[in-house]
Structures are given as C-alpha cells and as structure tokens.
A and B are shown apart, each in its own frame.
Chain A
Amino acid sequence: MSAEQNQIAGDLATASVEARRSDFPILFQDVNGQPLTYLDSAASSQRPLPVIEAVEHYEKHDHANVHRGVHTLSHRATEAYEGAREKVRRFINAAGTSEIVFTRGTTEAINLVASSWAAENVGAGDEILITWLEHHANIVPWQLLCERTGAVLRVAPIDDAGAVDLEALKALIGERTKLIAFSHTSNALGTITPAREIIALARERGIVTLVDGAQAVPHGPVDVQELGCDFFAFSGHKMYAPTGIGVLWGREALLEEMPPWQGGGDMILTVSFEGSTWNELPYKFEAGTPNISGAVGLGAAVDYLADIGPVEIARYETELLAYLNQQLATVEGLRIIGTAPHKVGVVSFMLDDIHPHDLGTILDQLGVAIRTGHHCAMPVMERYGLPGTARASLGLYNNREDVDRLVAALGRAKEIFGG
C-alpha cells in the first residue's frame, strides 16, 4: 500500500471504531452533573449492547443447567455455553476447544495452574520466575505455592521506563527454573512485555510459560499458537464481557497430564466410594455448574471484537494513546510513570505533589472516572517509590473528547490545590 492508501485505511479504521461508542449505553449519562468520561477500562471495561442483549436473551429464553438434562432448554444452554467456547477458541486461535477452560477470571486461571500443574511439576528448591510488573494475581498464587512446596520465587527487574530487563531475566533463568509466568501487558504502566523473546528463552530450555493476557486481549489480536506459550489466561470483563467469566488456555498435552484442581459435578466421569474417574478436557477443570450466562456474554464480546477487528482496535487505540500522551505533556507538573517504548492505552501519572487519591476524587466530581492507588501491583509502585498513581486507561469507545475532558479536569485539580 502507498502512504496515501495507508492513511485512508487508517482513517477508515478510526471512523469505524469511533462509531462504536454508541454501542455502550452506560457511557451516555451524567455523573456528578457532568458527562461521564470513562477512563478506567483497565480496571473493568463497559459492555456493548450486543453483549448485554446476548446475556438477556439467554436469561429470558435458554437458561437451564448444561451437560445434564435431556430437555430442550438444557440442550439450548449447552449449545450456547459450548458455542461460546468455540468462539473463544477461534478468537485466540487455540488448536481445539478441549484447550479452553472457563474460569471465573484471570486470577482463577492462574490459581488453577499454580494448584494443578505445579502440584506435579514443582518441588522444593525449584524456581518460578516472574517479572516486577506483575499484578498481584500473578504473584500471590506463586508465593502460596512456594510456601507449600519450598519452591523459590524469582523476580526479573524492570528498568526506569518500566520495561522488562531481558538480560537480567535471562540471567535469572537457572537449572531449577520450572515456570516463567509473566504479564503480556502491565496493568499498572501499560508496558507491553517482550513476550516472544521470553517464551523463546523458556522453550530453548524446556521451561513452561504462562502468560497473563488480561490486559492484552482487549487491545489487539492474540494468537496463542503463534505466541508459543504453554498457558494463557484472561478475563471477560476487561474485554467488554461480563464479570465472573474468564479463560485458561493450555496446551492439550499439558492439560491432559494435570490432575483436577476442584472436585464436584461435571468434572467426573464416574463416581463411587472406592474412587472416581475424571471427565475429559476441558470439563476435568470445570467442577460445578459454570457461569453459563457469563460465557454467553463472553462469546458475544468475542464476536463483537472480531467484527470490528482486533487490528483496527489496536490501530485506533494506539493513535488515541499518542494523543493522550501529547495532551498530558501540556499539563505542567504532570509526570508519566512508565514510559516504555511499547505500551497499550494505559497511562499512570502523578500531578505535582497531589496525592492520587485526592486527584481521583476531584476528577470524579468532574465526571472523569480514573483509577487511583496501587492498581494491585504494589511492587511496581514500590519500584518508583510511590504510594500509588493516577491511571487513565483507554477502551475502544474512548475518543479525543474524553482526553480533552481529562486534561481540563487536571487543570481544575491544579487550581484547587493551588498549583
């Protein structure tokens, strides 16, 4: 394509993504007397009408328990639930639906691996390697594992810009490293980590990898086979689906060897008091009646994202992030925390010496919703010697007007604090 054609393609993508804002009814309301400016999608994104309607349709017409009844509604619920699994499979390009385990979210997915896979693969003296960027969900399950087994948790440092120090990470890989678990994208700083490089380092040495993809999936295309990791975890509610539903993708060969982690209905083949046998994948890991309507919503969100196109979303958000950075640079006394070269639309910052919590309150009064605090990533905050930051994060529904409102509200905060 010529530069001109590229420009036209880019403009069309921008227009097609921008038009999607009207799919999100929650955005069209006043909060504290001001139009809502929602810049907290990294904490939880909003839902478009197709997702809301899919869940509503399921609740009104199709609900029954799955995999159990012979009656029509049970059949429809099963179709809806398993249909969602197939949609998710396609979305991340997994080899089969047997590799798609529905969980409550990323946190549960990581805990599943820390409980089941690790039980047979990690012992005293073995090492788990993570990075300094991790969300608590990718720290604490490993700490608990280490306490149980005597394994050791190693942490690869980040540089001042908030990028993973790949050389230091490499140096931390040892004979006893069993797993490298890392986030694809930092929720606190927006850094995109060098996932391919880290996975390549692990694979050369036969080390298993787990990617926390919670912040990656909403912002661009994901192909787990191309990525080459062994486990990939993400949450529905960060990608325009309901809360309480998420996914663990794992390589079939690994999942096959892993023991169940929770016992109950659906995960068994036979039960007798002498012992039970386990159901096939992925049901072995889905004990109890699952979050069926959540899965239906997730399936609808996947369709929605596929319809817009993950590449177009990434392009649109990258442009908007550039505008956000450019506008924030005009605010005197504003310091961005996390300036890695590769980032998604997540910007942590400090304004003068205003505490992030005060900033959050002032912005909220002006209709602007941002996250303030440690973002469930206390070690990252400690790395910068901060109690927390203010964080603005973008979704596909945000636009330049949102950015302008944020910047205007920051100006008001400076006035109130006499800056």
Chain B
Amino acid sequence: MAESSTGQLRELYRELILDHARRPRHFGRPERYTHEAQGINPLCGDKLHLYFRVEDGEVRDAAFEGSGCAISMASASLLTETVAGHSEAEALDAADGIQAMLRGEDAGAGLGKLEALAGVRDFPSRVKCASLAWHALRAALTRQQGKVSTES
C-alpha cells in the first residue's frame, strides 16, 4: 500500500469528519426558522436542506437535513456548529474562508474546527461535496431562497 495514498486518505477522512458524518449535529428540520435553502449536487446525488433562525442580524440556530457522502454531511454538520451565535456577516465570512481553503488559496488557519475540511483540497472531485452546505448557507442568508446546485 503506497504510504502517500493512505496518508492523503487519512487527511481527507479525519476522525472529526467521520464523527460528524456518523453523528451529524443539529440534524432535522427545526420548528422555528427564518431562512432556508436547499443544496443539490446532481453529480453524486447529495441533497441538503439548511435552516437558520436569524434575529437582529445574528444566526441564533442552524440545522440541516438531507443525505449525502461523508464529506458533504460532515461539512453541513460542522457548519451548523460553527455559525450559530455569530452574526450573518461572520457566517458569510466563514463561507468565503472555506471556499478559499478548498480552492487551495488559504491554509484555513483562522477557521478553527472547519480546518478539518482542509484535506478535501487534494481531492478536486470532492471539493463540491464540501462546499455544498456553504453554497446553501450563502443562498439562505442572502435571501436567494430556493435551490442551489453545485452545477450552476
């Protein structure tokens, strides 16, 4: 077994990613929400629906439901954990930061837990999986509510 292959796989499927994929946090449609959006990756069938409760410019709660691969589920789960309690602007900044990290433009140093997704950048075919939830977040918070697709 080539060490480099295994090493890259371990980077991609870090324990934190696998943990969130197995036990997604804030999973399910909440009773109260103010913003929502769906994210669809038609190539692999990932479907996420994100819900946010925003009050006074602050994301109070975030939740999601849907199905997808480990990367897309973990990314959505991490999203719900990290944006709650932050302003809308900060949530959108985090989305920018994730995108930059996945494009390899930024090491993701300031992203805290979200840095766990850094391994994805070595797998170009999987970047869409990791960014899907963040596309949906942007759509929801900027009121382009409805469906976003990784292919649009």
Residues of A within 8 A of B (CB): 32-34, 354-358, 361-362, 365-366, 372-374, 381, 387-388, 412, 416-418
Residues of B within 8 A of A366 (CB): 1, 5
Residues of B within 8 A of A373 (CB): 43-45
Query: Contact: A412 with B1, CB < 8 Å?
Result: yes
- Kindly provide the distance from the CB of B36 to the nearest chain A CB, expressed in whole angstroms: 21
Query: Given A358-B70, A361-B125, A417-B13: A388 and B2 within 8 A (CB)?
Result: no
Given contacts A33-B2, A372-B44, A416-B13, 17 further A-B contacts (CB under 8 A): A32-B2, A33-B5, A34-B2, A357-B44, A357-B69, A357-B71, A362-B9, A365-B6, A365-B8, A366-B5, A373-B43, A373-B44, A381-B45, A387-B45, A387-B46, A387-B67, A412-B1
Query: Given A358-B70, A416-B13: A388 and B44 within 8 A (CB)?
Result: yes
Q: Is B92 an interface residue (CB 8 A)?
A: no
Residues of B within 8 A of A358 (CB): 13, 69-71
- Kindly provide the distance from the CB of B28 to the nearest chain A CB, expressed in whole angstroms: 18
Query: Given A33-B4, A357-B129, A418-B18: A388 and B70 within 8 A (CB)?
Result: no
Residues of B within 8 A of A (CB): 1-2, 4-6, 8-10, 12-13, 18, 43-47, 67-71, 123, 125-126, 129
Residues of A within 8 A of B13 (CB): 358, 362, 416-417
- Kindly provide the distance from the CB of A171 to the nearest chain B CB, expressed in whole angstroms: 32
Query: Contact: B68 with A355, CB < 8 Å?
Result: yes
Across the interface, name the chain B residue whose C-beta is closest to A378.
Answer: B45
Bound complex: CA A381 to CA B129 (Å): 20
Bound complex: CA A355 to CA B43 (Å): 14
Query: Contact: B4 with A355, CB < 8 Å?
Result: no
Bound complex: CA A412 to CA B5 (Å): 11
Query: Contact: B126 with A361, CB < 8 Å?
Result: yes
Please list 19 pairs of residues, one from A and one from B, whose beta carbons are closer than 8 Å in the complex, sorted by A's number: A32-B2, A33-B2, A354-B70, A355-B68, A355-B70, A357-B69, A357-B71, A357-B126, A361-B126, A362-B9, A365-B5, A373-B44, A373-B45, A387-B44, A387-B45, A387-B46, A387-B67, A412-B1, A417-B13
Bound complex: CA A355 to CA B41 (Å): 14
Query: Contact: B45 with A374, CB < 8 Å?
Result: yes
Bound complex: CA A140 to CA B27 (Å): 35
Residues of A within 8 A of B9 (CB): 361-362, 365, 416
Query: Contact: A361 with B44, CB < 8 Å?
Result: no
- Kindly provide the distance from the CB of B148 to the nearest chain A CB, expressed in whole angstroms: 18
Across the interface, name the chain A residue whose C-beta is closest to B5.
Answer: A365
Residues of B within 8 A of A357 (CB): 44, 46, 68-69, 71, 126, 129
Residues of B within 8 A of A417 (CB): 13, 18, 70
Residues of B within 8 A of A374 (CB): 45
Residues of A within 8 A of B69 (CB): 355-358
- Kindly provide the distance from the CB of B39 to the nearest chain A CB, expressed in whole angstroms: 14
- Kindly provide the distance from the CB of A410 to the nearest chain B CB, expressed in whole angstroms: 13
- Kindly provide the distance from the CB of B15 to the nearest chain A CB, expressed in whole angstroms: 9
Residues of B within 8 A of A355 (CB): 68-70
Query: Contact: B5 with A34, CB < 8 Å?
Result: yes
Bound complex: CA A256 to CA B104 (Å): 58
Across the interface, name the chain A residue whose C-beta is closest to B2.
Answer: A33
- Kindly provide the distance from the CB of A4 to the nearest chain B CB, expressed in whole angstroms: 42
Bound complex: CA A365 to CA B9 (Å): 7
Across the interface, name the chain A residue whose C-beta is closest to B7.
Answer: A365
Across the interface, name the chain A residue whose C-beta is closest to B41.
Answer: A357
- Kindly provide the distance from the CB of B134 to the nearest chain A CB, expressed in whole angstroms: 18
Bound complex: CA A157 to CA B5 (Å): 43
Bound complex: CA A34 to CA B123 (Å): 17
Residues of A within 8 A of B45 (CB): 373-374, 381, 387-388
Residues of A within 8 A of B6 (CB): 365, 412
Bound complex: CA A388 to CA B126 (Å): 16
- Kindly provide the distance from the CB of A385 to the nearest chain B CB, expressed in whole angstroms: 11
Query: Contact: A387 with B68, CB < 8 Å?
Result: yes
- Kindly provide the distance from the CB of B150 to the nearest chain A CB, expressed in whole angstroms: 13
